[in-house]
Amino acid sequence: MKIGVATAFNKYSTPETMVRTAKIVEDAGLHSLWVPEHVVFFERHESRYPYSEDGRIPGNPDGLIDPFSALAFIAGHTRRIRLGTGICLVPQRNPIYTARQVADVDFLSAGRFDFGVGVGWLKEEFASLGVPWERRGARTADYIEAMKALWTQSEATHHGEFVQFEACLQHPKPVQQPHPPIFFGGESDAALTRVAELGQGWYGYNIGPEETAPLLRKLDDKLARAGRARSDVSIFVGVPRRAANPDALAELAELGVEQAILPLGGRTMDDVQRRAEGFAALAA
């Protein structure tokens, strides 16, 4: 099983520390680096973050560097590690611009980009952007199809419910063919349905073996209904610190998880170095 890491870049992340972090991850022999997305945060919000007991994002963040900007920058300072959005909030973005950014990162990284996507959880963020919260799942599906058209058609056309465009040109295309793999995040029935019907993979988050096993059984059922099988998708799991140990990772591998994505973090670069080397040892 491959080992990747997830980290967030913010106002404390200088260009130098971002480059150093990426090189530490690559030099340690880890497989990938994933970064999250939120364009705004709120001191007070009614929406509940699904991965904490109190419904707040740990650390109460006040901003993140755009994931595509961060990954394009890192792409120029690395050669091997894969680079992923974990995750991109597709329904609150203009899909034509998003398609352009995905293709650019894939182009600049020589085909090392994984497109992790989700429908979002922070209703207040959608409101601030003037994007309807309702039917964001259907909006995501339409946006994904529009982006596929832009990535794969020389002169792209799309006529969907939420986005339409006539024959237009958008180049360069992604290096990966037909396009970078799309990993749907989330553990709900709707998220797993999106994996089965639209995705090349699943990115489960903050779960260990005990939560992953029943979710994979649900996914298998949904894949069968869609005329697909587990072999048609890749399984990545964002593992909490409690499961970042050899026994838990071995159980995940036995379940068919192909990549465990561990939380990197660290107050200092020495912390980042130690954690990356420790994760590399788990991979070995």
| Rounded Cα gap, residues 247 and 167, in angstroms | 53
Band (265; pLDDT cuts 50, 70, 90): confident
Closest among 104, 83, 115, 114 to 172, alpha carbons compared: 104
Per-residue pLDDT tens for 38-78? 999 999 999 999 999 999 998 899 999 999 999 999 999 99
Arithmetic mean of pLDDT, 99-127: 98
pLDDT(283) > 90: no
Write the CATH number of the domain with boundaries 2-283.
3.20.20.30
Phi-psi category of residue 79: left, alpha or beta, with phi > 0 → left and psi -120 to 50 → alpha = alpha
Look at residue 175 in the predicted model and tell me its pLDDT: 98
Higher per-residue pLDDT: 35 or 267: 35
| Rounded Cα gap, residues 81 and 65, in angstroms | 20
Alpha helices in the chain (DSSP H): 15-27, 67-75, 95-108, 123-129, 136-152, 189-198, 209-225, 246-255, 269-283
Residue 239 gets which letter from DSSP? -
Look at residue 87 in the predicted model and tell me its pLDDT: 96
pTM for the predicted model, two decimal places: 0.96
Arithmetic mean of pLDDT, 89-102: 98
C-beta atoms surrounding 276 within 10 Å: 25
Q: What value does the mean pLDDT of the chain take?
A: 97
| Rounded Cα gap, residues 168 and 154, in angstroms | 8
Look at residue 267 in the predicted model and tell me its pLDDT: 87
Look at residue 228 in the predicted model and tell me its pLDDT: 98
- Domain regions of the chain by residue span: 2-283
pLDDT(284) > 90: no
Q: How far, in Å, are 11, 26, 274, 276 from residue 270 at the CA level? A: 19, 15, 6, 10
Look at residue 138 in the predicted model and tell me its pLDDT: 97
pLDDT(225) > 90: yes
Arithmetic mean of pLDDT, 82-91: 98
Arithmetic mean of pLDDT, 187-196: 97
